[in-house]
């Protein structure tokens, strides 16, 4: 049985990592907040995940043994603490005094009711950086609403441009609003920590699923703001350039992009149709876009004659961006994915040798490894309270009173 992470373990195993020495209090649930905190934990911060005492030992959503929960909460310490109890609140405020960062994704009214909002903790520890994710923002007409990824995919415009033309709204296959909000908050927290080196004072860093989703619309949103163009569904084709999208092959599909003049000329010659370069309907990039349905079908007529492997090897050798379309199992078996180490091995105390999704970040001289699997709920409660100065008898009293 692999031993669980302790405070000493954190110090010993992370001192070579970029965020070693940072103490982070994790009050997050579900996905967006934990995505942010995972970045901090993976790169050396001492993250203390704080959960309310539970009758069942299960989190509010999902199972502790699920791949999802395990993937989100690795490399952290875990404790139970009832913030609604005065004794639990007092212990939390002791932690605030010693922490560098708090991350939360509660609805705005909840943290104010618990008296753990920015205003409450900043006066206790002015150096603290406080990171918040909400569904729709910390104020405004929707501030009190609960926000989940799919709702925001719809409200943020994404579902209107996803899917085949005329298909109706389509959800993206991952929780993209959650994940993007978490990634952006991690970036904002690091900015605030950098500024704190100069000023000695922390900031409240905020984002929301809605803001993150609109940000991710990127050029589609810019097209509307600057030119009044409302994008629609483009299916598997690029929304503004051609040819760029999915093509059938003899045994499946490939993605291919040949949108520049040189790439288009190379493609025409390679497919044995140099005359396409002079075809009036396809002469310019704008022409090719306007006639993309006929263009794609003409190209697909040729790509259907050979296998995916044939075309990928051929086009790649010519410098044309292309690639196969994998199911997830095939993706992890790709030689480049294996080389990058995106399946990080770990010896799990329950599941034995397994793997988790590695951090997508790379630092020279540092491995991308999972140091510790997700700790069972409350594993480090006594240790953290001892770090705060509580005696064994005081900890026993807190447990008897169901504070921990």
pLDDT, tens digit, for every residue of 197-250?
A: 999 999 999 999 999 999 999 999 999 999 999 999 999 999 999 999 999 999
44-93 pLDDT, tens digit each: 999 999 999 975 556 655 688 899 999 999 999 999 999 999 999 999 99
Range 3-20 average pLDDT? 76
Catalytically active residues are 238
Tell me whether the omega of the peptide bond preceding residue 253 falls within 30 degrees of 0, making it cis. no
| Band (15; pLDDT cuts 50, 70, 90) | confident
Could you list the residue range(s) of the whole structural domain that residue 155 is in?
Answer: 7-217+340-400
Query: Could you tell me if 155 and 296 lie in one domain?
Result: no
Q: State how beta strands 343-348 and 352-357 pair.
A: antiparallel
Query: Could you tell me if 199 and 269 lie in one domain?
Result: no
Query: Could you tell me if 90 and 186 lie in one domain?
Result: yes
Beta bridge partners, 102, equal 25, 130
Query: Could you tell me if 282 and 257 lie in one domain?
Result: yes
Is residue 239 domain-resident? Answer: no
Encoded tokens for 143: 């501030």
In angstroms, the CA 266 to CA 279 distance is 15
Query: Could you tell me if 345 and 254 lie in one domain?
Result: no
List the end-to-end C-alpha distance of the chain, in Å, as a whole number: 25
Cα–Cα distances (Å) from 273 to 279, 288, 296, 301, in that order, read: 10, 15, 14, 12
In angstroms, the CA 259 to CA 263 distance is 6
- Residues ≥6 apart with Cβ < 8 Å to 219: 240
Q: Return mean pLDDT, the chain.
A: 94
Predicted TM-score (pTM) of this structure: 0.93
pLDDT score, position 65: 85
Is residue 227 domain-resident? Answer: no
What are residue 24's phi and psi, to 5 degrees?
Answer: -120, 130
CATH number at residue 93: 3.40.50.10540
pLDDT score, position 13: 75
In angstroms, the CA 64 to CA 219 distance is 39
Query: Could you tell me if 182 and 94 lie in one domain?
Result: yes
With a cut of 50, say whether residue 1 has pLDDT above it. Answer: no
Whether 372 contacts 74, CB under 8 Å? yes
What single-letter DSSP state applies at residue 172?
-
Answer positive or negative: Cα dihedral of 24, 29, 34, 35: negative
What are residue 295's phi and psi, to 5 degrees?
Answer: -60, -50
Closest-CA residue to 301 (of 366, 229, 247): 247
CATH number at residue 313: 3.30.1540.10
Whether 346 contacts 340, CB under 8 Å? no
With a cut of 60, say whether residue 364 has pLDDT above it. Answer: yes
- Total count of domains within the chain: 2
pLDDT score, position 60: 57
With a cut of 80, say whether residue 145 has pLDDT above it. Answer: yes
Beta bridge partners, 204, equal 130
Cα–Cα distances (Å) from 325 to 158, 249, 307, in that order, read: 22, 11, 13
pLDDT score, position 8: 73
pLDDT score, position 292: 94
| Band (2; pLDDT cuts 50, 70, 90) | very low
Higher pLDDT, 183 or 12: 183
């Amino acid at each position: 049985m692999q031993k669980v992470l302790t405070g000493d373990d954190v110090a010993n195993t992370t001192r070579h990592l970029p965020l070693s020495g940072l103490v982070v209090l994790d009050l997050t649930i579900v996905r967006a907040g934990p995505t942010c905190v995972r970045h901090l934990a993976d790169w050396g911060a001492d993250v203390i995940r704080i959960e309310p005492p539970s009758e069942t030992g299960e989190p509010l959503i999902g199972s502790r043994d699920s791949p999802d929960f395990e993937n989100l909460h690795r490399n952290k310490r875990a404790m139970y603490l009832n913030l609604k109890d005065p004794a639990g609140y007092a212990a939390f405020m002791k932690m605030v005094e010693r922490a560098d960062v708090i991350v939360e994704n509660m609805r705005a009214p909840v943290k104010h009711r618990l008296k753990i909002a920015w205003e409450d903790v900043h006066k206790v520890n002015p150096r603290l950086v406080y990171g918040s994710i909400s569904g729709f923002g910390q104020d405004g007409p929707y501030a009190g609403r609960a926000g989940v990824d799919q709702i925001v995919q719809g409200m943020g415009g994404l579902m209107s441009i996803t899917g085949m033309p005329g298909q109706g709204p389509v959800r993206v296959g991952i929780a993209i609003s959650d994940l993007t909000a978490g990634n952006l908050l991690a970036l904002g927290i690091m900015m605030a920590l950098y500024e704190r080196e100069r000023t000695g004072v922390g900031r409240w860093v905020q984002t929301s699923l809605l803001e993150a989703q609109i940000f991710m619309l990127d050029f589609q949103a810019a097209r509307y703001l600057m030119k009044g163009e409302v994008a629609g569904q483009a299916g598997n084709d690029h929304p503004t350039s051609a040819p760029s999208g999915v093509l059938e092959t003899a045994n499946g599909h490939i993605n291919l992009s040949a949108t520049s003049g040189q790439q288009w000329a190379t493609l025409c010659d390679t497919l044995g149709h140099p005359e396409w370069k002079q075809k009036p309907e396809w002469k310019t990039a704008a022409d090719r876009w306007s006639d993309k349905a006929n263009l794609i079908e003409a190209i697909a007529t040729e790509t259907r004659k050979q296998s995916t492997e044939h075309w990928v090897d051929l086009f790649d050798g010519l410098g044309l961006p292309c690639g196969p379309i994998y199911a997830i199992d095939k993706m992890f078996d790709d030689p480049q994915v294996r080389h990058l180490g995106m399946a990080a091995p770990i010896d799990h105390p329950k599941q034995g040798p397994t793997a988790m999704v590695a951090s997508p970040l790379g630092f020279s001289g540092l491995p991308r490894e999972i140091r510790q699997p997700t700790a069972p709920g409350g594993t480090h409660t006594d240790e953290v309270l001892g770090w705060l100065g509580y005696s064994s008898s005081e900890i026993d009293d807190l447990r008897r009173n169901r504070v921990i």
